[in-house]
Structure 1
Amino acid sequence: MPFRRQTYRNLAYLLLAFPLGAAYFVVITTGLSTGLGLVVTLLGVPIVAGTLAATLGIGSLEARLAGRLLDVDVDRPAPDVEVAFGSVDEIVATTKRVVTTRATWTGLLLVGVKFVFGIVAFTAVVAAGTTSAALLALPVLYDASGVSYTLGPYVVDTLAEAAVGAGCGVVFLLGSLHALNGLARVGGALTSALLGGPTTAATGDADA
C-alpha cells in the first residue's frame, strides 16, 4: 500500500480539500451575503446570480478532481446555463436559469460539505503524519540532548525501547494510510452523490 501511486493521489486529494473547501466557502458566503444585502437596490440580484452560477464551476472542478485523483467517475450532466448580465432582461433571465437549475443547489450544498470535509481531512492527515514521524524517529532522537520521549506512562530512554516504538510507528503508519484511503473514498462518494452520479472507480481495490 505505501508503494501504490493511488495512495499518494488520495493523500493529495485530502490535502487539497482544506484550501479548496475554505476558498469555496469564503467566496460563496461573501458573494451571497453581499448580494442579499444589496437586493433592495437591485444591484444585489446579479451578485447573487453570479455567486450561485459560480457553484456550477465549483461542481465541475470537483468532478474533475475526483476523476483525476481518486479515479472516481462522476456521472454529472453538464449544466447548460447561459450567464449574461448586459441588460436588465439578461439579468432576469440569467437569474431564472441559475435558480431553477438543480446543479446550482447541489453545487451549493457541495460547498458546505467540502468545507467540513476539508477540515476533517486536513486534521486527519496532519495528525497521522506527525504521530507517525515522531514514532519512526525514536531510534535517532530518543537520546538527543533536550529531547524527551514518552509513550503513555513510559519514558523511552533505551535503544530497545526506541526500536519498539519505531515498530509501533510502522504499524501506525500503515493503519493511518488505510484510514486515510478510506476517508478519500468517502470524499469521492460524497462528491459523486451530490453531483448526481454513481461512483464507478476502484479506489478501494487499488489500496486493499
Structure 2
Amino acid sequence: MDHALNHFDQISGFGRSAPLLLLILAASFAITALHSFQEWKGAGGPLWRNFGAIVGTKIPDWLGFLGFTAGLTLGLWALALIGIAGLPLWIPPAFALGALIGARLSDTLISHVLLNALGYRPNPGLSSTPLYVLEALFMIVAFRAGLAADWASAKCGIILGAGFFVVVLPSLWLAHLLIPGWRRERWQRGGAMPAWVADEP
C-alpha cells in the first residue's frame, strides 16, 4: 500500500490519500463493469453479435464473451490498477494511464457513437459512454503530472489503447473472409438487425 500511495502522490495533486486513491480506482472499476455489462446484456446485445452482423461474421458466443466481456473487462481493470496505483511495478504507469484514456475515448467514438450515427441501432453500451468520456477527461486533468513525467510512454499507451478499438471491425471482416463457417447475412446500414443475431443460440 505504501508504494501505491507514493505513486498516487507523484502522479496526481491529491497527495498520499488512501481514501481518494481507493475511490478513484473503485469508480474506474465500476464504470468498466457497467459498460461491459451493458454490452453483454443490453438491447440488441451482446455486442459481439452486433459487431459481427455489421461485417457478416458469426462469432462463437464463448469466444465473444471471453474477448468482448471477460477479457476486455479484466484488461481495463488492470490498466486502471497499474496507472492509478502503480501496480505491478514492471509496467510503466504512464503507459497504462495513456492506454486507458485512449481506450475510453476510442471505444466511445468508434464502437458506439459512430456506429450509432451510421444507423446500426440498437447499440448496447452507448448509454454509459458519457461516463467513459468524463473519466478520460478527469484522468487527463487529475494525472497530468504522471502523464507529463513519462510522456513517451503515455503517448504509446494512448495510441495502442485507441488503436485497439479501431482494428476490431477490420479483424472481424478478416475472419469473415478466412472462416467460411462464420459467414452470415450482413446488417445493412440503417436497416433491421438480421434475424440470425437473435435466433442463434
Q: TM-score, normalised by structure 2?
A: 0.29
| Higher CA-based Rg | 1
Q: TM-score if structure 1 supplies the norm length?
A: 0.28
